[in-house]
């Protein structure tokens, strides 16, 4: 859409109609020509001018379109059909759009415009070249308004007649219902909009995809490239899970490679259009891009970003081994570009002194505060970097005020990792030696995404809260699979709710109690039962209030005995060799009726207050008898157990294997606690950094248990979910959706990417099915 100021059909500013030719060649275009060639055309021209490999192209200018409207006499009729259109009235909108589109399509293109397009087409290549015909809309490519996809693109166009038809179709797409609606909402006057059309050599790519020249949310200088076989349409439309490559512009090194199973590709279909075909054999799992290609692409991305001064969203294709840049437009999701830049500028000079697992995203600098004994935790000051062997619940108050957290021990599901993610505090866990290598007072910078600790300070780092904000404000995508969020700390509930999650798939209430620094036993022996019930009630209520009408699954207490040890009353906790395999979860509650009764009392109050969305989940269940026992105990406490939502976690292989028996006992839902399920299936301690590389949520045995339990739940129509850390991994989320999971509960920081992975996978499943049906 191009806006030309005009009065009574006459252009009064911008380029004069007569001055601007019907055709402009890419080489002659600069970004100032946006009024004539639209954002896409101007951007391609700019890129060609700085030497990027852009395929040959010319643009049918916006003025040519305006001449078409005037010469055919439809201009006034179209605008009349918009007079006082109520765009909120769907029927009226569709009708106006259809009418306008038909007028454009039916009008006879003036001979002089046709001739000029034909002439240009011949000039681009002696033979009939296969071209892509793209609408070029100004608002689509402006940094502050991303209306991508509102106007059409036609691929694989060959021959003059097909080209002329495609140009006219692009013009007509200016009056699509969606386009009219958005323009009206953005306050554009429809009488002054215009459109250009880019005609460009089609790159019959053997591989293609998209590239974000910087991280789309944090703005970090990490180039993210997605690529798959065939034309880029497969990646853009989401019909294939592409390979993903992350290239760090600071170190100029490939950071991460994620190879996907690429089931389909889109290729040219004869002279017209495109078709989707299956990818067969080894190509399905083969890496699409060589490291040389990734490096070169990232370099092109950098050139484009530097030239435009803002991170770019680039479409690329590789034909006969040559890289082509097909399109580039600003990324609109990045908040504060300046911060991202200064961070990258500084970071290159800072030395990495330690590495662990990036457990909570964000970058922060501060002075090291080493805590060897929890008694010293009071000495930690606001803005310090808390360095300790492993955090425990009595450190949570300190964890709230520090800038970042670093531990010697632990993996992605340890206490430090879970709590940090929720607090939005960057954390690196499992460094093995942080408490020895770092010294108190030392100035360091922690990168909680990549797991690096840098020497010294990196100024103006991205603030995690701000990052979360941006992730949260991403457009809400509706998915059939519910995307829920995990909560452990009630005051994180507003942030959790801001993600737009479909509910809470796990509320760990032990964190509520552990934060009080007194064991449940202490409350009971000191006649403080009411305090205990109130604490639970108030904490859970905070979460319920943040998710009105959405399911909130609250898990009954599940803390290993060693986590209670340092608290008041901890002296009465048994010493266990293997607390992970010990007295925890539902097995402990069944043997501690008072402790269970107090929890149930808080749930009862909430149900009574009308929180029907409260569901209760029992942890560490290994046999249906335990579920029945817990249910009976609830009934004895006066709960109408048949009419409340009770479910279990699947954390022990036995519960996955016996899921049908659980279902027959009346569970309403089941949720995979993969943090434990993995450790109990593979005999790998989840918190032991020495075996961290063997801790594999995607181990075939784990997947086998998950798959069979999902199928059983589906057969009985029982909601099957996941709340373990594996659910925050997009790759796993894709697998789970493919295998029929009903909901996924992820960490706050992962919701946006999980929702996107889920949406893409669902769309792909639907598309695959539709295409299969069409083929039959």
Q: Measure the CA–CA gap between 28 and 215, rounded to whole angstroms.
A: 32
| Nearer to Mg ion among residue 116 and residue 676 (C-beta) | 676
Structure tokens at 180: 């009219």
Question: Does residue number 242 form part of the binding site for Mg ion (CB under 5 A)?
Answer: no
369 — phi, psi (to 5°)? Answer: -125, 105
| Nearer to ligand PEP among residue 213 and residue 675 (C-beta) | 675
Beta carbons within 8 Å of 583's beta carbon, 6+ residues apart? 561, 574, 576, 591
Residue 423's SS3 state is: helix
3-state secondary structure 706-773: HHHHHHHHHHHCCEEEECCHHHHCHHHHHHHHHCCCCEEEECHHHHHHHHHHHHHHHHHHHHHHHHHH
Other C-beta atoms within 10 Å of 3: how many? 17
Q: Which of 40, 215, 495, 508 binds ligand PEP (CB under 6 A)?
A: 508
Q: Which of 651, 719, 729, 762 binds ligand PEP (CB under 6 A)?
A: 651
Site stretch for Mg ion (CB under 5 A), options 207-215, 573-581, 623-631, 646-654: 646-654
Q: Which of 618, 609, 626 is nearest to 650 (CA)?
A: 618
Structure tokens at 561: 């005995």
From ligand PEP, Mg ion, none, interface partner of 233 (C-beta below 5 to 8 A by class) = none
Structure tokens at 237: 């439309």
Least Cβ distance, residue 180 to ligand PEP (angstroms): 48
Q: Total number of residues binding ligand PEP (CB under 6 A)?
A: 11
Pairing of strands 404-407, 482-487: unpaired
Site stretch for ligand PEP (CB under 6 A), options 6-14, 146-154, 370-378, 667-675: 667-675
Structure tokens at 628: 């029945």
From ligand PEP, Mg ion, none, interface partner of 150 (C-beta below 5 to 8 A by class) = none
Q: Measure the CA–CA gap between 140 and 196, rounded to whole angstroms.
A: 12
Least Cβ distance, residue 677 to ligand PEP (angstroms): 7
From Mg ion, ligand PEP, none, interface partner of 755 (C-beta below 5 to 8 A by class) = none
Q: Measure the CA–CA gap between 766 and 772, rounded to whole angstroms.
A: 10
Structure tokens at 476: 């809400």
Q: Measure the CA–CA gap between 538 and 493, rounded to whole angstroms.
A: 13
Q: Measure the CA–CA gap between 595 and 599, rounded to whole angstroms.
A: 7
Least Cβ distance, residue 380 to ligand PEP (angstroms): 25
| Nearer to ligand PEP among residue 257 and residue 581 (C-beta) | 581
Q: Which of 723, 733, 737, 742 binds ligand PEP (CB under 6 A)?
A: 723
Site stretch for Mg ion (CB under 5 A), options 66-74, 239-247, 453-461, 672-680: 672-680
| Nearer to Mg ion among residue 217 and residue 723 (C-beta) | 723
Q: Total number of residues binding Mg ion (CB under 5 A)?
A: 3
| Nearer to ligand PEP among residue 430 and residue 724 (C-beta) | 724
Structure tokens at 566: 């340092």
| Nearer to ligand PEP among residue 421 and residue 508 (C-beta) | 508
From ligand PEP, Mg ion, none, interface partner of 398 (C-beta below 5 to 8 A by class) = none
From Mg ion, ligand PEP, none, interface partner of 505 (C-beta below 5 to 8 A by class) = none
Question: Does residue number 697 form part of the binding site for ligand PEP (CB under 6 A)?
Answer: no
Least Cβ distance, residue 467 to ligand PEP (angstroms): 24
Which stretches of 443-536 are assigned E, i.e. beta strand?
443-447, 452-455, 482-487, 504-508
Q: Measure the CA–CA gap between 262 and 257, rounded to whole angstroms.
A: 15
Q: Measure the CA–CA gap between 131 and 60, rounded to whole angstroms.
A: 13
Q: Measure the CA–CA gap between 424 and 498, rounded to whole angstroms.
A: 13
Site stretch for Mg ion (CB under 5 A), options 90-98, 211-219, 392-400, 676-684: 676-684
Least Cβ distance, residue 488 to Mg ion (angstroms): 12
β-sheet with 23-25: strand ranges across? 23-25, 57-60, 196-201, 131-136, 153-157
Q: Measure the CA–CA gap between 630 and 618, rounded to whole angstroms.
A: 8
Instruction: Provide the b/e sequence for 297-306 (b: ≥16 CB within 10 Å).
Output: bbebbbbbbe
Q: Which of 64, 267, 368, 506 binds ligand PEP (CB under 6 A)?
A: 506
| Contact pattern for ligand PEP over residues 400 through 419, marking x by CB under 6 A | -------------x------
Question: Does residue number 651 form part of the binding site for Mg ion (CB under 5 A)?
Answer: yes
Q: Which of 190, 313, 394, 676 binds Mg ion (CB under 5 A)?
A: 676
Least Cβ distance, residue 386 to ligand PEP (angstroms): 21
Least Cβ distance, residue 686 to ligand PEP (angstroms): 8
Site stretch for ligand PEP (CB under 6 A), options 244-252, 420-428, 670-678, 750-758: 670-678
From Mg ion, ligand PEP, none, interface partner of 413 (C-beta below 5 to 8 A by class) = ligand PEP
Q: Which of 330, 393, 647, 673 binds Mg ion (CB under 5 A)?
A: 673
From ligand PEP, Mg ion, none, interface partner of 506 (C-beta below 5 to 8 A by class) = ligand PEP
| Nearer to ligand PEP among residue 422 and residue 651 (C-beta) | 651
Question: Does residue number 673 form part of the binding site for ligand PEP (CB under 6 A)?
Answer: yes
Strand-pairing partners, residue 318, are 207, 323
| Nearer to ligand PEP among residue 335 and residue 582 (C-beta) | 582
From Mg ion, ligand PEP, none, interface partner of 164 (C-beta below 5 to 8 A by class) = none
Structure tokens at 234: 């497969």
Strand-pairing partners, residue 647, are 617, 669
Least Cβ distance, residue 695 to Mg ion (angstroms): 14
Provide the CB-side half-sphere exposure for 69 (13 A, CA): 26
Q: Measure the CA–CA gap between 632 and 236, rounded to whole angstroms.
A: 53
Least Cβ distance, residue 260 to ligand PEP (angstroms): 25
Structure tokens at 226: 């997605």
Question: Does residue number 675 form part of the binding site for ligand PEP (CB under 6 A)?
Answer: yes
Strand-pairing partners, residue 222, are 248
Site stretch for ligand PEP (CB under 6 A), options 282-290, 571-579, 625-633, 669-677: 669-677
Write down the catalytic residue from 415, 511, 713, 720. Answer: 415
The answer to whether 432 and 408 are in contact (CB under 8 A) is yes
| Nearer to ligand PEP among residue 495 and residue 508 (C-beta) | 508
Q: Is 666 exposed, middle or buried (0-12, 13-18, 19+ CB in 10 A)?
A: middle
Q: Which of 41, 366, 551, 724 binds ligand PEP (CB under 6 A)?
A: 724
Least Cβ distance, residue 560 to ligand PEP (angstroms): 9
Residue 723 a catalytic site member: yes
Q: Which of 257, 261, 236 is nearest to 317 (CA)?
A: 236
* Cα separations in angstroms, 308 against 37, 118, 325, 657: 17, 33, 15, 57
Entry field: residues in the chain: 776
Residue 415 a catalytic site member: yes
Q: Measure the CA–CA gap between 255 and 245, rounded to whole angstroms.
A: 8
| Nearer to Mg ion among residue 248 and residue 651 (C-beta) | 651
| Contact pattern for ligand PEP over residues 541 through 580, marking x by CB under 6 A | -----------------x----------------------
| Contact pattern for ligand PEP over residues 256 through 295, marking x by CB under 6 A | ----------------------------------------
From ligand PEP, Mg ion, none, interface partner of 508 (C-beta below 5 to 8 A by class) = ligand PEP
Query: Scanning the structure block, which residue is given the tokens 């069409």?
Result: 774
| Nearer to ligand PEP among residue 508 and residue 518 (C-beta) | 508
* Cα separations in angstroms, 286 against 243, 257, 263: 9, 12, 11
Q: Which residues bind ligand PEP (CB under 6 A)?
A: 413, 506, 508, 558, 651, 673-676, 723-724
Q: Which residues bind Mg ion (CB under 5 A)?
A: 651, 673, 676
Q: Which residues are catalytic?
A: 415, 723
């Amino acid at each position: 859409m191009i806006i030309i100021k005009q009065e009574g059909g006459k252009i009064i500013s911008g380029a004069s109609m007569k001055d601007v030719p019907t055709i402009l060649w890419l080489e002659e275009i600069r970004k100032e020509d946006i009024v004539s060639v639209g954002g896409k055309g101007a951007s391609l021209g700019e890129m060609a001018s700085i030497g990027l490999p852009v395929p040959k192209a010319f643009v049918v200018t916006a003025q040519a379109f305006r001449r078409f409207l005037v010469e055919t006499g439809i201009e006034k009729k179209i605008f009349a059909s918009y007079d006082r259109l109520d765009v909120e009235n769907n029927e009226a909108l569709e009708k106006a759009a259809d009418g306008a589109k038909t007028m454009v399509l039916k009008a006879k293109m003036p001979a002089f415009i046709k001739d000029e397009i034909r002439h240009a087409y011949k000039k681009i290549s002696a033979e009939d070249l296969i071209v892509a015909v793209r609408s070029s809309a100004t608002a689509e490519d402006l940094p502050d308004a991303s209306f991508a996809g509102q106007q059409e693109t036609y691929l694989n166009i060959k021959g003059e007649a097909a080209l002329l038809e495609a140009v006219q179709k692009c013009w007509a797409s200016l009056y699509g219902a969606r386009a009219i609606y958005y323009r009206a909402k953005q306050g554009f006057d429809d009488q002054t909009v215009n459109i250009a059309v880019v005609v460009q050599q089609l790159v019959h790519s053997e591989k293609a995809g998209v590239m974000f020249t910087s991280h789309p949310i944090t703005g970090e200088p990490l180039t993210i490239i997605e690529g798959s076989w065939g034309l880029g349409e497969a990646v853009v439309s989401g019909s294939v899970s592409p390979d993903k490559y992350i290239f760090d512009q600071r170190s100029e090194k490939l950071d991460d490679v994620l190879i996907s199973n690429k089931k389909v590709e889109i290729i040219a279909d004869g002279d017209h259009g495109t078709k989707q075909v299956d990818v067969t054999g080894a190509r399905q799992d083969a890496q699409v891009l060589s490291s040389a290609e990734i490096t070169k692409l990232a370099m092109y991305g950098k050139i484009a970003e530097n030239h435009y001064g803002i991170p770019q969203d680039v479409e690329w294709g590789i034909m006969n081994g040559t890289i082509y840049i097909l399109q580039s437009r600003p990324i609109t999701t990045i908040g504060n570009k300046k911060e991202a830049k200064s961070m990258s500028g500084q970071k290159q000079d800072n030395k990495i002194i330690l590495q662990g697992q990036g457990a909570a995203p964000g970058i922060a600098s501060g002075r090291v505060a080493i805590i060897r004994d929890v008694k010293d935790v009071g000495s930690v000051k606001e803005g310090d970097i808390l360095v300790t062997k492993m955090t425990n619940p009595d450190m949570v108050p300190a964890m709230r005020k520090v800038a970042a957290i670093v531990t010697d021990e632990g993996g992605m599901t340890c206490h430090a990792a879970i709590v940090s993610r929720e607090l939005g505090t960057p954390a690196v866990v499992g460094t093995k030696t942080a408490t020895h290598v770092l010294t108190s007072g030392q100035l360091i910078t922690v990168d909680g995404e990549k797991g690096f600790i840098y020497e010294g300070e990196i100024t103006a780092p991205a603030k995690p809260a701000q990052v979360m904000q941006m992730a949260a404000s991403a457009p809400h995508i509706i998915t059939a699979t519910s995307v829920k969020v995990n909560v452990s700390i009630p005051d994180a509930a507003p942030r959790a709710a801001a993600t737009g999650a479909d509910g809470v798939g796990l509320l760990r209430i032990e964190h509520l109690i552990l934060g009080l620094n007194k064991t449940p036993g202490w409350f009971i022996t000191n006649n403080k039962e009411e305090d205990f019930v109130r604490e639970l009630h108030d904490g859970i209520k905070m979460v319920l209030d943040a998710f009105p009408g959405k399911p909130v699954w609250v898990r009954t207490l599940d803390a290993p005995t060693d986590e209670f040890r340092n608290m008041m009353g901890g002296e009465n906790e048994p010493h266990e060799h293997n607390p992970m395999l010990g007295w925890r979860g539902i097995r402990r509650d069944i043997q501690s009726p008072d402790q269970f009764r107090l929890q149930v009392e808080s749930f009862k109050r909430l149900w009574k207050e009308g929180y029907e969305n409260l569901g209760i989940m029992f942890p560490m269940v290994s046999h249906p008898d335990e579920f029945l026992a817990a249910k009976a105990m609830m009934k004895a406490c006066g709960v109408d157990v048949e009419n409340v939502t009770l479910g279990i976690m699947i954390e022990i292989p036995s519960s996955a294997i016996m899921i049908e028996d659980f279902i027959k006992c009346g569970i309403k839902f089941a949720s995979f606690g993969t943090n434990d399920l993995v450790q109990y299936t593979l005999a790998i301690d989840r918190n032991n950094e020495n075996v961290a590389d063997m801790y594999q949520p995607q181990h075939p045995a784990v997947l086998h248990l998950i798959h069979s339990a999902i199928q059983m739940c589906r057969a009985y129509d029982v909601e099957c979910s996941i709340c373990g850390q594996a659910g925050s991994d997009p790759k796993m989320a894709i697998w789970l959706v493919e295998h029929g999971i009903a909901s996924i509960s992820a960490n706050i920081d992962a919701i946006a990417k999980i929702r996107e992975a889920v949406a893409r996978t669902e769309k792909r499943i639907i598309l695959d099915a539709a295409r299969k049906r069409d083929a039959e």
